[in-house]
A and B are shown apart, each in its own frame.
Chain A
Amino acid sequence: MPRRTIPDRAVEFLREWSVPRQMAGQDHRREAAESAMARHGRPRTEKADSVGTSICPYCAVGCAQLIYAKDRQPIAVEGDPSSPINQGTLCPKGAATMGLMTSPMRLDRVLHRAPHATEWREVSLDWAMDRIAHLTKQTRDESFVGDAPDGTRLNHTMAIGSLGGATLDNEENYLIKKLFTAGLGMVFVENQARV
């Protein structure tokens, strides 16, 4: 490629600069606004091999989102223009959803801190599930009260608590309530509704 002279580059620059064209009377909302960058720019969602509908994970306004993915990894998250709630818009938190999904601080392994330990250690999901199930059963069995001394039925354990739910799916809340309350007899079951 021949070396471009300074005048060549100046001409190219002026041709690419949209202001002179607009000053010359071209419509600033049409071709006059175009530049090489705009001409060659591609939509960031173009590489997606799938798109799915989602709901913003932050507040309860319930903005609809479109998640664009490639190889089952997110490449962009945008407001869903068809939603009557957000009509394609997102707030600073909602617009950060992509950053949330791909945050370098996302946890991807199960960590365990033994009593009195000063650091985490990595454990397998299966080991953790097994240990949690055993601890749950042990604590429940040690603390379960069938009847009060006066014979009133209690059927509960006060030794295990659960916090959370307001950031989770309805279906997840349902299973939490069903297993913890109806199954295990836990009474200390709460979420952020009072926070």
Chain B
Amino acid sequence: MNPPALLPLDDAHARHAAESIGRLRRVLQGVLFGQNDLIDLVIVGVLARGHVLLEGLPGLGKTELVKGMARALDLKHKRVQFTPDLLPGDITGNPVLEEVDGRRAFTFQPGPVFANILLADEINRASPKTQSALLEAMQERCVTVMGQTHPLPNPFLVLATQNPIELEGTYPLPEAQLDRFLFKVDVPAASVETLERIVLEREIGVPPEVPCVIDAHALTTLQDEVRRVYMPPPVANFIARLVAATAPTNPLAAGVRYGASPRAALALSAAARARGLCQGRINASYEDVRDVALPVLRHRLVLDYGARLEGLTPDGIVARLLDAVPAHDKPLPTSLKAAKV
């Protein structure tokens, strides 16, 4: 039985949502200087109920961004520094033997995963067992300990980071687990202007003032409104063709060993809707898909050895696919050419 149809979002609601998101964006831009694209993607990830994997050097402001977002959204946030000796219970929580009513019994002590926003720092340093515990929580949005399932708070967002250097003793996330992240975002180094502004406006040990602009309820409402953003069939077709083009059998995806999964298509759809709402629109568009395609797909493509030896990167392949796969999938006759608009 099909679920009941959602009412589409109307323009007024979309505009109101966009204004709220704009306020959040502006606040976060005051927290993290010169990383507007990163902020936008994180906001989109939050609205799309996705998790974001941030990859960048230490000290670029990832933790500040998470803290700032938690304050701006008035959400509970936790930070876990992943190490090789970190155990799953250190994240999910452990049963503790306590005396209750004269009887000794195990009571569940929730771990740091029980927060609205969890910053999993250097996630690739934990053992695969620990990683899988977190990734299960990310996917199921609940934790099961000793047969008891404990739901995670709503909203729940994991912002994990990876350090692209110092790879010795790390456990790179397997592809199946990477697939659970909505985005993988490369955090770029700050520009001179950004650094200058940081120097002028920040001090070590003094966190910036971050006002609360959206509460948890409003955030949940926004997330619901993202679901009501209309996905036109041509845009859905574009997403499908884009994801299908990542298949190794496709000549455009030469060098790809494993392509994107249907989960990638769902992720693209959700991200495109969220981005459409951020723009104040009631529908997703081809432009939204193009904008979120790179962070959605880059960690879902596994390249073969030859491609890696040639220096190909997932980013390059996704960019090639975006150039090659048009929104309008039919060719034009030779007597016509597409106009450059």
**Are A and B interaction partners?**
no
